[in-house]
């Protein structure tokens, strides 16, 4: 009796690929050419199909392009930021009607064999990488002439096309807002980019630019590298507040994400500080919960949904031959001012 393993060995693919082809898996589709070879091998080996299906595939719609969206597993599901990016991506794919996209988590793509298998089995013609970067695999994709569009890549060192917001300028706007409120000792809470060098992180670059253009020294002790861990944002700031008298605290923080800001705000309140009277906060992303914190969090509103749509549209344009390369597309952001930063220290000090 012919088994899936026999078909896989004859065609030279994995057993799971044979299974997905024969079951016509829509969520993890197999390249039509590979599926055709699997059906032909199955018939030749006498495989007994459970359902009556036609082994001949006619792929007349040559305009339909197959792309893959690769995203870290922890960013899937009900993520406050990336769920909106993915919603925009899916909606634009559905509207275009000329792209077919599959989603893979980055841990499913293990090494060069994993990326080769993805391309061979699914016929992927382009990759949308959402906050995922692997230097070795990106170089392999370039060698294979598979275009990559990055989403939420906040690293000036990376030379791949990106669809994102202008985080350097937006961070400068956020810090300037704090400066206008009378702050000069402003801390930073965030994490490093893919290169692991904070100086290459766009939000940190914008923060630093705004501080230095106003001739304010960087309070190095209060520049907190959390490595994007929310627990670190809370615990590291808690430790600093505990070991410094209140008069040595910075009067404001710019945080590289709202989630970092929210955990840091808790640390301030637990250590007896008031927001914004003792420490003001500005975050970034303007996730839904930002308006419900206590006090409501001032934040840079990032066009998350539009970023997802833009990534799908630019990949479609590239595969249609509209560009010889994919440009870096930076969408504008807005600063949404709420109570976490609306305490004018100049006015307060003059009254006192």
Rounded Cα distance, 69 and 268, in Å: 39
Q: Tell me the pTM.
A: 0.79
Residue with tokens 């400066």: 179
Residue 289 lies in a domain: yes
Q: Which residues of the chain have pLDDT under 70?
A: 26-29, 31-33, 49-63, 154-156, 324-326, 347-352
pLDDT at res. 181? 95
Rounded Cα distance, 72 and 138, in Å: 15
Q: Token digits for 194?
A: 């893919």
Among 60, 77, 109, where does a domain finish? 60
Among 60, 76, 110, where does a domain finish? 60
Q: Token digits for 247?
A: 């008069």
pLDDT at res. 127? 94
The whole domain housing 1 covers 1-60
pLDDT at res. 62? 53
Contact 31, 59 (CB under 8 A): no
The total number of structural domains that make up the chain = 2
Q: Token digits for 103?
A: 């989603």
Residue 154 lies in a domain: no
277: how many CB neighbours lie within 10 A of its CB? 11
pLDDT at res. 348? 63
What Cα–Cα distance (Å) separates residue 41 from each residue in 6, 290, 349? 9, 56, 82
pLDDT at res. 165? 93
Contact 134, 114 (CB under 8 A): no
Residue 116 lies in a domain: no
Among 60, 86, 105, where does a domain finish? 60
**Within this chain, do residues 343 and 197 fall inside the same structural domain, yes or no?**
yes
Residue 136 lies in a domain: no
pLDDT at res. 26? 64
Radius of gyration of the chain (CA): 25
Q: Token digits for 349?
A: 């000090």
- Greatest distance between any 2 Cα atoms in the chain: 91
pLDDT at res. 39? 80
pLDDT at res. 25? 73
> What is the sign, positive or negative, of the torsion defined by CA atoms of 80, 128, 229, 237?
negative
Phi then psi dihedrals of residue 147, to 5 deg:
-70, 145
Contact 324, 292 (CB under 8 A): no
Rounded Cα distance, 81 and 259, in Å: 10
What Cα–Cα distance (Å) separates residue 260 from each residue in 79, 82, 134, 325, 331? 14, 15, 25, 35, 23
Q: Which of 164, 183, 172 is nearest to 331 (CA)?
A: 164
């Amino acid at each position: 009796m012919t088994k899936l393993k026999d078909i896989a060995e004859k065609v030279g693919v994995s057993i799971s690929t044979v299974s997905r082809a024969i079951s016509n898996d829509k969520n993890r589709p197999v390249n039509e050419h590979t599926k055709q070879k699997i059906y032909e091998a199955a018939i030749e080996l006498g495989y007994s199909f459970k359902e009556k299906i036609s082994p001949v595939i006619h792929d007349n719609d040559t305009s339909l392009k197959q792309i893959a969206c690769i995203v870290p597993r922890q960013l899937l599901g009900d993520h406050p930021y990336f769920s909106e990016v993915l919603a925009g991506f899916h909606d634009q794919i559905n509207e275009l009607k000329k792209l077919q996209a599959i989603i893979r988590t980055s841990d499913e793509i293990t090494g060069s064999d994993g990326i080769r298998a993805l391309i061979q089995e699914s016929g992927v013609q382009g990759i949308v990488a959402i906050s995922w970067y692997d230097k070795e695999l990106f170089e392999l994709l370039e060698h294979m002439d598979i275009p990559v569009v990055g989403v939420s890549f906040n690293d000036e060192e990376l030379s791949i096309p990106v669809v994102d917001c202008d985080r350097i300028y937006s961070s400068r706007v956020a810090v300037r807002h704090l400066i206008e409120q009378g702050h000069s000792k402003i801390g930073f809470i965030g994490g490093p980019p893919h290169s692991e060098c904070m100086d290459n992180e766009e939000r940190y670059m914008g923060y630093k630019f705004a501080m230095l253009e106003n001739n304010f020294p960087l309070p190095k002790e209060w520049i907190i590298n959390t490595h994007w861990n929310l627990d670190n944002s809370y615990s590291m700031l808690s430790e600093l507040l505990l070991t410094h008298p209140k008069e040595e605290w910075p009067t404001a923080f710019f945080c590289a994400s709202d989630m970092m800001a929210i955990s840091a705000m808790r640390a301030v309140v637990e250590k007896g500080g008031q927001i914004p009277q003792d420490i003001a906060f500005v975050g970034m992303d303007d996730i839904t919960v930002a308006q419900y914190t206590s006090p409501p969090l001032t934040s840079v509103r990032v066009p998350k949904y539009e970023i997802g749509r833009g990534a799908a549209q630019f990949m479609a344009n590239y595969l249609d031959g509209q560009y010889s390369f994919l440009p870096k597309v930076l969408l504008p952001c807005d600063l949404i001012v709420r109570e976490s930063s609306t305490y004018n220290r100049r006015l307060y000090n003059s009254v006192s």
